[in-house]
Amino acid sequence: MPEPSVLAALVSALRGGSIDVVDLTSPLSSGTPVIQLPPPFGQTAVFELEEISRYDDRGPAWYWNNFRSGEHTGTHFDAPNHWVTGKDLDDVASVPAGRLIAPAAVLDFTAEARTDPDFLVEVDHVKAWEAEHGPLPEDGWLLLRTGWDARAHSQETFLNADENGPHTPGLSPECARWVAEEAPVIGLGVETVGTDAGRAHGFDPAFPCHSHLMGSGKYGLTQLRNLGMLPPTGSVVVAGPLPIVTGSGAPARVLALVERP
């Protein structure tokens, strides 16, 4: 008897429950939090559905909608051309399909972010994680768990803004540069509204995750959830953004495959 193929073994493991599929995607609705920029900058749209027909005289046997959304609304994928530093690099439709399936490292800073919403991850934090768990995965994702997905029910608590701007955790400017230029990963995934920390407008450079990662041809995943269901190493992320031609990003369904003992 021939040995089963790798794909057949994967299907068997999925059906048998030895591999779990964890949904890392926040549901997309009119209540999904969106980033807010100060005037005079343009603003992204809140997600909207427009009913076309629903088993009625507009279409007796079918239900469907038009929708309106910003590219960077909800759980979404940032392509390199999203930022001026990557303006001549890939749009979201040009990202190679093979890069949409990749291993992941999950770094957990939930306790730190609970104490300090402005908590910044430094290179030394990542190095300490590597000393315990091994190196970051080659051509994989660095996923930053902060517990921020628990706030996703409310625009106000999710953005956590005051007169000085938003207060959300993220990477320090030096760590953002290191992840972009030295770490072997293809991108950064976060639970917050964007890959940068809330205070990043005042960093040098401003919004260093966007500036460094996009300029290095790397990617971003934002507004993830359920990262607490993933182990520190060993999971595989499947990211499925809409392939919008010339698009700077797109809403995405993001899944993780997790092997269970």
Residue 69, Cβ neighbours under 10 Å: how many? 20
**44 Cβ partners below 8 Å, 6+ apart?**
34, 35, 70, 71, 72, 73
Q: Among residues 72, 76, 82, 212, which one is catalytic?
A: 82
Q: Is 76 a catalytic residue?
A: no
Alpha-carbon torsion angle 152, 192, 90, 121, nearest 10: -160
170: helix, strand or coil:
strand
Tokens standing for 182?
């030295």
The residue whose two tokens read 């999971």 is: 235
Q: Whats the size of the chain, residue-wise? A: 261
Q: Give the Cα separation of 201 and 206 in Å (integer).
A: 5
Residues belonging to the active site: 82
